[in-house]
Every structure is written in structure tokens, then in C-alpha cells.
Amino acid sequence: MSHEYEFLTEANIGAYITAHPELQARLDGTRLTEIREIGDGNLNVVFHVRDAAGRSLILKQSLPYVRMTGEGWPMTPDRARREADSLVAHGAIEQELVVEVVRYDRERYILALEDLSDHRVWRGALNDGECHDGVAVQLGRYVAGVAVGTSVLGRERGEVADATARSQNAELCVITEDLVFTEPVFDVGRNSVLPQNASDAAALAADGVFAAAMSEAKWRFMTHAEALIHGDLHTGSVMVRGSGRRGDEVESVKVFDSEFAFYGPVAFDLGALIANYVFAAARARALGDDERAAWALSLIDETWIGFEEAYLAAASTWRETKLFDGAFARRRVAETLREAALFASAKMARRIVGAAKVADIESLEPDVRAPAARSVLVAARAVAARWHDVSSPAELRGTIAQHLLS
């Protein structure tokens, strides 16, 4: 297949850097000592480059297809622009918590990003048993900052209308709509589970209450254009730096990989985080560490506290203060929690039965992976049955724990 733009390779990356002054100012493309392809996501190629002076940069290029599957699944490379724009927008609001965009190349769909190789991906850290206290709270604050700072609560009505139009991302939203909401119920041939989990996947698909919840979730995702959300805020979209020892506060948290960003429901990002805490808990439980499993579930409360406090604090600065008063803010918070539970349910199920999985579960040996996967599915169904009644993060955590940790 021929492509309309040149792909980055080890051979041409030096010339690419020297051809762009903003990049050459950050490191010397003529004296590169290290070029490593480090992409481990489902979609893109990612190079880490370092020069003789030890300066470094990340170059991330979107391919015109899904890397995970190859050219048989075409996908717009313009997704990199969504990522660049949303990182810049989010960075303007929560600078400390978002990776810096150095340059974006609209012709070759290349994002140059600050090098975070003194950080590690939070999912990997969690899977290795690390903690990084405080990440979950900071991510709750990040979601609240974005919820207010990109929406009519914090910006001019006209600005939000323009930003909403610029941030349309239908092609990637459709992927989410298919993979996250539809396919756990209606398999189109992309789902897979261990043979030991076949009956669990069948029970999920046959669960009418779960299907009804997924229709609610999908509708809200498709129609509730509240704020410029991240759109794929799992633990693999977060970098952390610190010792990782329990009790040691994380030194730095950086959100990245926001190519699924669009104007959508704020609770979708919270639901993604919650589901990923559940995977971390299921993994810990599978490895016989119930104490760590309970700790992983306690991250639900932490993220929620970070979100709620920051959101309610920001309410005093909202643009509209007549109708959008404190009582309104508290109603939004309550509804956001219910929706976060709903989206968490979808996200929990999709990573077990759907096409794109998570290392937390997949890297377990099959004898413990099967019960771990089963427990996540059962918890997802339990949450789907009562998301509309959830009134506190502790209640949500309790519902999940009842099925995950029993």
C-alpha cells in the first residue's frame, strides 16, 4: 500500500529534526546517539531520540491505520492533530499535569513531545506493584480542570462553540462507540476470551440489564458535548515519576495520548480511570495480594475526591453565576458520579471481552487470568444494574469489591 506521507524511520529521523528549527533547538539532529522505537500502544509509532549532549525528545507519528492490527484497519492519521490540540488546550489549564507539545507537523502527522523518560507509564508501574501516592487525586483534579476550563462553565459561549466544531473526532468516537459500548454485547467477530471465560462473555451478552445500560452509556457519549475530554484516560495514558513506594508521594504526573479527545461527557474520563483501578485490583487479587487489591479500589475514592473538590471550588468562578449556582454544581457532581459508574461498567467489560485488552489482566497466567477476568465481568454487570442509584464513591467501590474481592 502506498501512503501520501513519509513515515519516520531510524534512517530519516535525524534529517527530520535538523529540517525543523523548533526541534533542532531542543536537540541536535546531526549528532543523535540513540533512536529507539518505544510505541507500545494500539495505534501509533513512537520514537525516543537522544543527542550527544544528552538532550532528548519524543516523536510520535500517526499511521493511516491501526498499528495493533495493521493496514487492514484504516484510521485517519489526522487523529494526531486532535491529540496535539487537546494537549495544548489541557496544558493551558493544567500545565503541570499534561505533557508539553513542542511541535506538531500537519503534513506528516508527527507530534514532538517533551521527553518523559524519567517517568514511567502508570499501568506498568501498577503492574509491577508500585503505588505513587497521590496520582489518583491529581487525575481527578485534571478532569475537573478540563471540565470547567474547556466548557461553558469557564469560557465564552462562542469560544466553546468554535472549539467544539474544531474538535469533532467522529472517526475515533465511532471506535469507542463500537468497541466500548456495542461490541461487548454484540460481538462482530473482534471479541476474544480464554475458553474458561466463554460462558462469562456469553452471560454478559445475554444480560438485558447490562445491554440497557450500554445503550444509555452510548447515547450519553454520543450526545453530551460537555467539555473537551481526554477520551481514553486509562492508566496507560498517564506517566508518573517517583519512588513508587507506598507512602511516597508521586513527584510528577503527566497525562498524554489524547487522540480520542472530543467534546463529550466529563464522566467518561472518570469512568475510564475507575475501570482501570478495577483491573489493577483484579490483578492484585489474582496474585494473592488482597491488601493491594483493596488499595487499588481505594483509588476510586481518591480520584473522586480530587474531582469533586476541584469542581466545586471552581464553581465560585463560573461565568454564569445566576442559574449555575452552588446547588447546580452539586447536582452536576451527583450526576457525574452516576455517569462515571455507568461508563466504568462499559470500560470494565470491554477490556475483558473486546478487541483491545489490558496488560494488567493479559499478562496473568491463564489459571489466574480466567477467574480475574470473570470477577471483572461480574462486577461490571453489578455496576450496570445500579449505576443510576450510586450516591457516593464508597458505594460504588463497595459494589465492585463485593464481586471482585469476595
Q: Does 148 engage in binding with ligand SR1 (CB under 6 A)? A: no
Q: Report what 197 binds from ligand SR1, Mg ion, none; CB cut-off 5-8 Å by kind.
A: none
What nine digits make up the cell of 29? Answer: 539532529
- The reply to whether 41 sits near Mg ion by the rule CB under 5 A is yes
Strand, coil or helix: 56: strand
Contact residue for ligand SR1 among 24, 42, 76, 243 (CB under 6 A): 42
CA nearest 23: which of 8, 39, 44, 3? 8
Rule CB under 6 A: choose which of 27, 59, 66, 137 binds ligand SR1. Answer: 66
With b for 16 or more beta-carbon neighbours within 10 A and e for fewer, the 252-283 pattern comes to bbbbbbbbbbbbbbbbbbbbbbbbbbbbbbbb
* Strands of the 45-51 sheet, one edge to the other: 32-37, 45-51, 56-61, 110-114, 101-105
Q: Which of 59, 131, 139, 175 binds ligand SR1 (CB under 6 A)?
A: 175
By a kind-dependent CB cut-off of 5 to 8 A, residue 179 interacts, out of Mg ion, ligand SR1, none, with: ligand SR1
Number of residues that bind Mg ion (CB under 5 A): 2
- Residue 356, binding choice from Mg ion, ligand SR1, none, Cβ under 5 to 8 Å by partner class: ligand SR1
Of 51, 232, 301, 360, the one binding ligand SR1 (CB under 6 A) is 232
- Of residues 131 and 201, the one with the C-beta less far from ligand SR1: 201
Q: What are phi and psi of 57, to 5 degrees?
A: -155, 155
Task: Name the DSSP letter for residue 249.
Answer: B
- Give the nearest distance from C-beta 367 to ligand SR1 in angstroms: 27
Residue in the block written with cell 475526591? 305
> How many positions of this chain bind ligand SR1 (CB under 6 A)?
9
By C-beta, is 125 or 179 nearer to ligand SR1? 179
Contact flag: residue 257 with Mg ion (CB under 5 A): yes
Rounded distance between C-alpha atoms, residue 312 and residue 315, angstroms? 5
Rounded to whole angstroms, the Cα distance separating 274 from 233 reads: 10
Considering only the stretches 173-181, 302-310, 337-345, 374-382, report the one whose residues sit in contact with ligand SR1 under the rule CB under 6 A.
173-181
Contact 380, 372 (CB under 8 A): no
- Dihedral sign (CA 90, 96, 99, 100): positive
Distance CA 271, CA 217 (A): 11
Cβ 18 to ligand SR1, closest distance in Å? 32
274 interacts with ligand SR1 by CB under 6 A: no
Query: Which partner, ligand SR1, Mg ion, none, binds residue 32 by CB below 5 to 8 Å per kind?
Result: none
> Strand, coil or helix: what is 73?
strand
Task: Using CB under 6 A, pick the residue from 45, 143, 179, 340 that binds ligand SR1.
Answer: 179
| CB burial of residue 5 (10 Å; 0-12, 13-18, 19+) | middle
Give least dist CB 62 to ligand SR1, A: 12
- What nine digits make up the cell of 331? 447536582
Q: Which is nearer to ligand SR1, 200 or 232 (CB)?
A: 232
The binder of 85, among Mg ion, ligand SR1, none, by C-beta within 5 to 8 A per type, is none
Nearest approach in angstroms of CB 121 to ligand SR1 is 12
CB 249 within 8 A of CB 134: yes
The distance of closest approach from Cβ of residue 75 to ligand SR1 in the complex, given in angstroms and rounded to an integer, is 7
CB of 79 to ligand SR1, least distance (A): 10
DSSP for 293-332, please give it: HHHHHHHHHHHHHHHHHHHHHHHTT-S--SSS-HHHHHHH
Nearest approach, Cβ of 292 to ligand SR1 (angstroms)? 25
Q: Give the residue with the Cβ less far from Mg ion, 41 or 77.
A: 41
Piece in contact with ligand SR1 (CB under 6 A), picked from 30-38, 171-179, 275-283, 314-322:
171-179
In 178-261, the DSSP E strands lie at 227-229, 238-241, 252-255
**Measured between alpha carbons, how far is 245 from 249 in angstroms, rounded to an integer?**
8
Select the binding partner of residue 379 from Mg ion, ligand SR1, none (C-beta < 5 to 8 A, by kind). none
Residues that bind ligand SR1 (CB under 6 A): 42-43, 66, 68, 175-176, 179, 232, 356
